[in-house]
Amino acid sequence: MRSGSNVCGIVAYVGPQDATPILFEGLQRLEYRGYDSAGVAVVGKSGQLRVRKAKGRVRDAAEGLPARFKGAPGIGHTRWATHGEPSDANAHPHVSGTVAIVHNGVIENADELRAKLTADGVEFASETDSEVLAHLIAAAAADPDVDLAEAVRLALTRIVGTYGIAVVDASRPGVCVVARNGSPVVLGLGDKEMYAASDVSALAGHTRQVVHLDDGEIAALTAGGYRTFTLEARATTKEPSELDADAASYDTGGHATFMAKEIHEQPEVVERALRGRLDPRFHTAHLGGLNLDPRDARAIRRVKIIGCGTAYYSGQLGAQLIEELARIPADAEPASEFRYRNPVVDPDTLYVAVSQSGETYDTLAAVQELRRKGGRVLGLVNVVGSAIARECDGGIYLHAGPEISVASTKTFTATGVAFALLALYLGRIRDLSPADGARIAAGLRALPGQIQEILDREAEIATLAAELAAHRAAFFIGRVRGFPVAREGAQKLKEISYLHAEAYPASELKHGPLALISPDLPTVAVVPDDELRDKNLTTLGEIRARKGRVIAVGHSAVADDTIVVPKNEPELDPILLTVPLQILAYHAALSLGHDIDRPRNLAKSVTVE
């Protein structure tokens, strides 16, 4: 079976230093993007290509590295496979002659190209589609009049698919070539040295100036600088931007895991997300990045939110906020479904794309389809300069800071706050009164302190989590505002504890799922003190009547085990109700001994289909 590189981390260096430690440091930071195999290739001082790669973690590839393994330029890769089993042979870099490449993406016409290369006498050492690209570049580079950048460009014109690549050639020292199409590549500018990576986390501590490549763009890097050009060989001009995070942002900060750190960062994250965005004079939100004036905002007749996984569930929460506060019909849909069903794109609809990384391939492709059909698209993203951020007409940056753990926590909360700000802005332009605007603004300001109150109860939640982990499965239920909370809670539990978890609207329980209720299947119920409290209590009674165990999350004790959460405004309560479910999932996984930051089969940023 052909094996794709797919979701992974790439790092490259060219300059006077030994590339090896720089590459392995970068790969350690990128390991959250892929951790099935890893490898590096460097060009030695005498012009030989040195390659080290292995199945497993980055530390496995680095272990026992000989002292002579030095050189520059160099490239590195950490891989998360979506096709075929990880192996030493399938690990990157891939080599053809003096050329080594690392690749993130999928080459769709790899089988056809492989057949042609095999017929020409090329022997393949792996099952990967990526190796095809290595042989194509090497063939183009066989012409001594063709430099490495041109060889890469010529090879890429034969490729159909997605890629983020970095290439070195031992016969052409002093240069590294990178390229992007559907998979991120960022350049880092140093002092007489250059870096590149698939994520800025690998560049922090080395540079403060970065350049984001666009799709279809290639960059040739030397110690003295870089040049960029298109697949058609047309030169492009790129302006560097400031990297907004330092190396300390990418360590655990004294916590046992990144997920624990990111859960505990949420009070600060919410404060940062709100900073400068609340207008006390008119009791509205100040969102200059929307590029949406009041006249255009009043013309909106519907809001459609798209995202994947946690971003989709936050979109459901956002749709509820927009309908309640702005009285505009709103709904959310998985971006992966939206882009394939040939949707009707309405000029009166505002589309909102949600993505932590800003590189999620399904969401990016949906945005591009919307733009092609004339839709107005806003982005809610966390990574400044990311592809979705650049594609959208405007948007809201989350300012949550780097999120390393695969299971998203603080960006879900930051996205909920961003949707509340958007709903407040749209509502105040329409029919939301100044008094209600002031009420929502006050509620938003109260969130950081209330989240801290929940974090202070972590030990109590951990006890319940250990009991939950003793079961093989769980139900999560919520009604209306509580349903997106239940879905996100189930997502977190299944992602990191590997317990089966299903979320249902509480009102749907009696329409089938109630058949599964037993003492062995606990239910986590989201029960805020709102207008639906009595109906939720009726549902809990149905569960208890069948001897089902209930763990409730709400504002008052409604079950034998209730995680009590501070009460905010009803519209904002879902943001708070999600936090204890994050802690519940974390401690369930911890009690089971799982690798919480790197759950099996998952990667942080899904940049392929």
Res 282: pLDDT: 95
Shared domain check, 428 and 343: yes
Q: Please give the DSSP secondary-structure letter assigned to residue 234.
A: -
- CA 134, CA 154: separation in Å to the nearest integer? 12
Q: What does the pLDDT look like over 258-309, one tens digit per residue?
A: 999 999 999 999 999 999 999 999 999 999 899 888 999 999 999 999 999 9
- CA 235, CA 153: separation in Å to the nearest integer? 12
| Residue at 41 is within a domain | yes
Mean pLDDT of 521-549: 89
- Tell me which residue has tokens 């403060």: 208
Say how many CA atoms lie within 13 Å of 289 toward its Cβ. 19
User: Which residue, among 7, 135, 12, has the nearest Cα to 78 in the 3D structure?
Assistant: 7
Q: What does the pLDDT look like over 402-441, one tens digit per residue?
A: 898 989 999 999 999 999 999 999 999 999 999 999 999 9
| Residue at 2 is within a domain | no
Q: Using the 3D structure, point to which of 400, 418, 447 is the last residue of a domain.
A: 447
**pLDDT-derived band of residue 3, with 50, 70 and 90 as boundaries?**
very low
Res 343: pLDDT: 87
| Residue at 452 is within a domain | no
Shared domain check, 75 and 173: yes
593: left (phi over 0), alpha (psi -120 to 50) or beta: left
**pLDDT-derived band of residue 2, with 50, 70 and 90 as boundaries?**
very low
- CA 38, CA 34: separation in Å to the nearest integer? 9
Whether 1 has a pLDDT exceeding 60, the answer reads no
Evaluate whether 77 touches 102 at the Cβ level (below 8 Å). Answer: yes
- CA 71, CA 50: separation in Å to the nearest integer? 8
Shared domain check, 575 and 430: no
Shared domain check, 230 and 85: yes
User: Which residue, among 42, 21, 57, 187, has the nearest Cα to 102 in the 3D structure?
Assistant: 42
Q: Is 172 helix (H, G, I), strand (E, B) or coil?
A: coil
Q: What percent of the chain has pLDDT over 70?
A: 95
Cβ-based neighbours of 246, under 8 Å, separated by 6 or more: 204, 205
Evaluate whether 410 touches 388 at the Cβ level (below 8 Å). Answer: no
Pairing of strands 523-527, 163-169: unpaired
Number of domains in the chain: 3
Q: Using the 3D structure, point to which of 250, 282, 316 is the last residue of a domain.
A: 250
Q: What does the pLDDT look like over 175-224, one tens digit per residue?
A: 999 999 988 899 999 999 999 999 888 888 899 899 999 999 999 999 99
User: Which residue, among 254, 80, 220, 85, has the nearest Cα to 152 in the 3D structure?
Assistant: 220
Q: Using the 3D structure, point to which of 402, 424, 447 is the last residue of a domain.
A: 447
| Residue at 355 is within a domain | yes
71: left (phi over 0), alpha (psi -120 to 50) or beta: left
- CA 321, CA 573: separation in Å to the nearest integer? 11
**CA angle (242 as vertex; 406, 93 as ends), nearest 5:** 50
Q: Give catalytic residue positions.
A: 8, 604
State whether the Cα torsion 387-399-319-289 is positive or negative.
negative
- CA 559, CA 556: separation in Å to the nearest integer? 9
Residue 205 structural domain: 7-250
CATH classification of the domain holding 381:
3.40.50.10490
Shared domain check, 433 and 295: yes
| Residue at 1 is within a domain | no
The tokens describing 239, both together, are 């302006």
Whether 4 has a pLDDT exceeding 50, the answer reads no
Shared domain check, 236 and 96: yes
- CA 359, CA 183: separation in Å to the nearest integer? 7
Distances (CA, A) of 50 to 30, 44, 74, 154, 531: 22, 7, 9, 25, 67
Mean pLDDT of 332-348: 91
Shared domain check, 576 and 433: no
**pLDDT-derived band of residue 605, with 50, 70 and 90 as boundaries?**
low
Shared domain check, 308 and 219: no
- CA 195, CA 186: separation in Å to the nearest integer? 8
Evaluate whether 290 touches 394 at the Cβ level (below 8 Å). Answer: yes
Residue 119: how many other CB atoms lie within 10 Å = 8
The tokens describing 569, both together, are 């405004």
Whether 6 has a pLDDT exceeding 80, the answer reads no
Q: What does the pLDDT look like over 111-154, one tens digit per residue?
A: 999 999 999 999 999 888 899 999 999 999 999 999 999 999 99
Shared domain check, 414 and 365: yes
pLDDT, the chain, mean: 91
The tokens describing 256, both together, are 């046992």
Q: What does the pLDDT look like over 387-400, one tens digit per residue?
A: 899 899 999 999 99
- CA 102, CA 187: separation in Å to the nearest integer? 15
Rounded to the nearest 10 degrees, the angle between the axes of helix 266-274 and helix 434-455 is: 160
Does residue 374 or residue 246 have the better pLDDT?
374
- CA 87, CA 3: separation in Å to the nearest integer? 10
**CA angle (384 as vertex; 237, 345 as ends), nearest 5:** 90
| Residue at 504 is within a domain | yes
State whether the Cα torsion 600-606-607-609 is positive or negative.
positive
Shared domain check, 354 and 238: no
The tokens describing 423, both together, are 């709903």
Whether 82 has a pLDDT exceeding 60, the answer reads no
DSSP string, 400-456: -----SSS--HHHHHHHHHHHHHHHHHHHHTT--HHHHHHHHHHHHHHHHHHHHHHT
Shared domain check, 429 and 475: no
